[in-house]
Amino acid sequence: MVSSVHSKPIAVDDQPRHAAMRFRRLWFATSLVAASASAVATPLPSWNDGAARRAIIAFVDAATKEGSPGYVQEAERIAVFDNDGTLWAEQPMYFQLAFAIDRIRAMAPQHPEWQTKEPFASILRGDVSAALQGGERAILDIVMASHAGMTTTQFEQTVADWLATARHPKTGRLYTEMVYQPMLEVLTYLRANGFKTFIVSGGGVDFLRVFAEKVYGIPPEQVVGSSIETKFEMRDDGPALVRLPKLDFIDDKAGKPVAIHLHIGRRPVMAFGNSDGDLQMLQWTTSGSGPRFGLLVHHTDAEREWAYDRQSHVGKLDLALDEAPRRSWTVVDMKADWARIYP
Amino acid sequence: MVSSVHSKPIAVDDQPRHAAMRFRRLWFATSLVAASASAVATPLPSWNDGAARRAIIAFVDAATKEGSPGYVQEAERIAVFDNDGTLWAEQPMYFQLAFAIDRIRAMAPQHPEWQTKEPFASILRGDVSAALQGGERAILDIVMASHAGMTTTQFEQTVADWLATARHPKTGRLYTEMVYQPMLEVLTYLRANGFKTFIVSGGGVDFLRVFAEKVYGIPPEQVVGSSIETKFEMRDDGPALVRLPKLDFIDDKAGKPVAIHLHIGRRPVMAFGNSDGDLQMLQWTTSGSGPRFGLLVHHTDAEREWAYDRQSHVGKLDLALDEAPRRSWTVVDMKADWARIYP
C-alpha cells in the first residue's frame, strides 16, 4: 500500500543525512524561485477566474488598502492554514501515517515481538487495513512506536530522510511534491501583502516543521500542530529533548481555536481548511469583529486528485460544508477552480 | 503592601476600557519613538562600556557579518528572554502575583466565603505574607480564583485595566514603567540586526501578551509562557474561549527548553535570563553547535533597584551563577553595567 524505501540505497549517495540536506537545498531554491515569480506576476495564476479566486483577491485588496472598510492593520494580518487536504493531499491515508507505517517496517528487526503483536503484526504482513481496524488505540500504538523514544534531533532526521525518498503509492511522487500549487500561491500572495501565514494542523508539529519552511515558506515558529510530551535531559554529551510515548495535545476540531490562542495569541483574520476538523477554527476566525475570511477546499476532482466529502474516513467534510453558506465562507470547487493541482 | 486601585475612579474617565485604550496608545507611541531613536544612534546607550555591553555587540557584529566564523543565518537568529527580573523588575513579588492579589480584593464582594477561607481571608485582612505561607497550594488557589472562570477576552481586559492604573508599592510607578531600559535597547538592537525576539517566561502567557507588544515590541505570537487550560464554547453570541481553573503548563526550569521546542521549534542562538529558572534555557541554547550567547542579569543594585541572588525567594540565582563562568555566559553586574535602570 505504501512503498517502503528504507531498505533501498539512495541513488548517488547512500548516506541519508546527505540526502536530507540535498532535499532541503533543493526545496529552498525551488521555493525562492516560486516566491519571487509570483510576487511580481498576476496573483494566483493556477486559479481559474471564478468566485473563489476573486473572493481571495478582493479580501486582500481591501485588507491592504488604508481607509477601506476592509482594511486590516498589518500586525493583525494573521492567516491560518490546515495542512492535510488543504496544503497537501491526504489520500489514501494521512501522509504522516504512511511515515509511521514505514517506520514500523524499518524498525521491525529490532522488535521481534511485533511479529505477533497487533497492530504491528498486520503491518508487517502488509495488511495496513487490518492494522487500522483497531481504531484509535491501534493508531496511537503505531504513532507512539514510531514517533517516541528518541531525541527531537533524531526524530527530525528520520522524517527528513523519509521525505527525501518515500513516494506516494498512487502518484509515485515524493510526498512533498503533492502540495497544492494553487495554495502555495495563496501563501506567497498573502505574505507579499503583509500577512503572517501559520499552519494549524492535526498533524504532528515536529513532523510538519521538517518540511514546512522549505516547502511552504512557513518557519517552525509559525507551525502549530499536535504534540507528544518531551522531556529535557542533561546527558554526557549535553542537553537533549527526549520524545515520550504520551500524548500532549491533539490540535483538531475544538482544539484548533485553543491552540491558536495558546500559540498565536490573537484571532486570525483568514482561515483555510478542508474538513470538519477545521470547523471550529473557521468559526473562531470568522466570528471576530471586522473583516474576516473563511475558505474550505472541497475535494471534487476524482481524476486529477480525489473526490470525497461527507462519507470519507479521511478528511470528512460534512458539518462545515453545511455551515459554509450561512457564514459566507468561500468553498473551492477543486475541479472547477484549480487550473493545476501539483507544482 | 500592594496598592489596590480598583475601588478608586480613574482621573478623567472612569471607564476602565477607555483607560486601557489610552494606555495602549501611549505605550505604542512611546515604543515607536524609542525604537526609531536607538536604531540610528550608538547601540545600547544605557549600558556602561564594559565587558557585558562589548560581548553583546561583538556577538551581534559577528552574527550579521557574512563569512565571519560567528555568522548566523537570518532565519536562525532567534533570541529568547525571560521576563520577570530580566525585562522588568520582580520585587518584592512577581508583578503578576500583585495583579492576582488586587483581583482577589476587587472580587471579594462577590465571594463572602473568602472572608473565612485561606488564603483569601489573609489577603482581605491585608496580610499577604500570611496568605503566601500556604506555599504552592495557596498561590495556585490565588491564581485560579483570579485567572480562571472568564473568557480570554474578559481576562485580557482585566489585565489591561490593572496595568493602566496599578502602581508599584515602592517606586510608585506603573508596573510597565519598571521595565529595564538597557534591556529594551537590547531588544531593539537585536531586531534591527535581523533577530526575532521571543519572551519565554514562567509568567502567564495571556498576562504577558497584554503588554508585551506595546512595551517590548514583541507580538503575541512570540510570547511563550505558563498557561491554564482553555475550552472552546459555542455561545449564543458566538464562539468563546473560556479559561478553566486547571494548570496546563509551567514554563519554568526544565519546562523552558520544552516550551521553546514546542512553540518556536528551533534552538535559539541567544538566551537572556536572571535566575535558576532560566538555567536549562541557557544550557539548551548555548550547547547548540555554532555561535551561541548566554546572559544572566545579576541584581546587584540595592540602591536603584534590588540586590539579591543565592538566598532570594523571588528570582533565586545560585546554580546558574556557578555555571556561568564554565559556560562562558555573560553576567551583567546591574550596578556597574547599567547607566540607567528604568526608562
Please spell the DSSP secondary structure of A161-193, one letter per residue: HHHHH-B-TTT-SBGGG-B-HHHHHHHHHHHHT
- Which residue in chain A has the smallest CA separation from B196? A221
Q: Which CATH number describes the domain made up of A35-92+179-343?
A: 3.40.50.1000
Nearest to B101 by CA among B183, A23, B92: B92
Question: With bands split at pLDDT 50, 70 and 90, how would you rate the model's confidence at B8?
Answer: very low
Q: Is the peptide bond before B92 cis (omega within 30 degrees of 0)?
A: yes
Do B143 and B79 form a contact (C-beta atoms < 8 A)? no
Question: With bands split at pLDDT 50, 70 and 90, how would you rate the model's confidence at B7?
Answer: very low
Least confident of A141-145, B1-5, B287-291: B1-5
Do A323 and A281 form a contact (C-beta atoms < 8 A)? no
Instruction: State the pLDDT at residue A11.
Output: 33
Nearest to B222 by CA among B179, B264, B185: B264
Residues 6 or more apart from A105 whose CB is under 8 A from it? A4, A6, A123, A124
Q: Is the peptide bond before A45 cis (omega within 30 degrees of 0)?
A: no
Q: What is the DSSP letter of A72?
A: -
Q: Which residues of B touch A206 (CB under 8 A)?
A: 265
Q: Which residues of B touch A320 (CB under 8 A)?
A: none
Question: With bands split at pLDDT 50, 70 and 90, how would you rate the model's confidence at B30?
Answer: low
> Does pLDDT of B100 surpass 90?
yes
Domain locations in chain B as residue ranges: 16-94+173-228+246-337
- What is the rounded CA–CA span in Å between residue A270 and residue A60? 10
Q: Per-residue pLDDT averaged across B176-181, rounded? A: 98
- What is the rounded CA–CA span in Å between residue A5 and residue A168? 11
- Which residue in chain A has the smallest CA separation from B283? A239
Distance from the Cα of B220 to chain A's closest Cα (Å) equals: 5
CB contact under 8 A, B241 and A257: yes
Out of B241, B257, B263, name the one closest to residue A221 (CB).
Answer: B263
Distance from the Cα of B206 to chain A's closest Cα (Å) equals: 8
Instruction: State the pLDDT at residue B10.
Output: 31
Q: Which residues of A touch B222 (CB under 8 A)?
A: 221
> Does pLDDT of B116 surpass 50?
yes
- What is the rounded CA–CA span in Å between residue B195 and residue B80? 10
Q: Which residues of B touch A234 (CB under 8 A)?
A: 283
Instruction: State the pLDDT at residue A13.
Output: 36
- What is the rounded CA–CA span in Å between residue B301 and residue B308? 9
Instruction: State the pLDDT at residue B16.
Output: 41
Q: Which CATH number describes the domain made up of B16-94+173-228+246-337?
A: 3.40.50.1000
CB contact under 8 A, A231 and B75: no
Out of B220, B255, B287, name the one closest to residue A239 (CB).
Answer: B287
Q: Per-residue pLDDT averaged across B122-133, rounded? A: 95
Instruction: State the pLDDT at residue A175.
Output: 98
Measured between alpha carbons, how far apart are the two ends of chain A, in Å?
24
Selected residue of B73, B195, B214, B241 to mutate for chain A interface (largest A Cβ count, 10 A) = B241
- What is the rounded CA–CA span in Å between residue A142 and residue A134? 11
Ranges of residues in chain A with a pLDDT under 50 are 1-23, 29, 33, 37-39
Helices (H), A41-178: 51-63, 95-107, 120-124, 128-132, 135-147, 152-165
How many residue contacts between A and B have a Cβ separation below 8 Å?
A: 90
> Does pLDDT of B202 surpass 80?
yes
Distance from the Cα of B301 to chain A's closest Cα (Å) equals: 33
Share of chain B above pLDDT 90, in %: 87
CB contact under 8 A, A284 and B220: no
Residues 6 or more apart from B314 whose CB is under 8 A from it? B84, B85, B90, B91, B92, B93, B94, B308
CB contact under 8 A, A283 and B239: yes
Question: With bands split at pLDDT 50, 70 and 90, how would you rate the model's confidence at B31?
Answer: low
Q: What is the bridge-based pairing of β-strands B78-81 and A330-333?
A: unpaired
A137: left (phi over 0), alpha (psi -120 to 50) or beta: alpha
pLDDT for A129-163, tens place per residue?
999 999 889 999 999 999 999 999 999 999 999 99
> Does pLDDT of B139 surpass 60?
yes
Nearest to B184 by CA among B22, B2, B338, B8: B338
User: Is the ipTM here above 0.90?
Assistant: no
- Which residue in chain B has the smallest CA separation from A287? B238
CB contact under 8 A, A280 and B239: yes
Sheet containing A293-298: give its strands across: A238-249, A223-235, A196-204, A78-81, A270-273, A293-298, A330-333
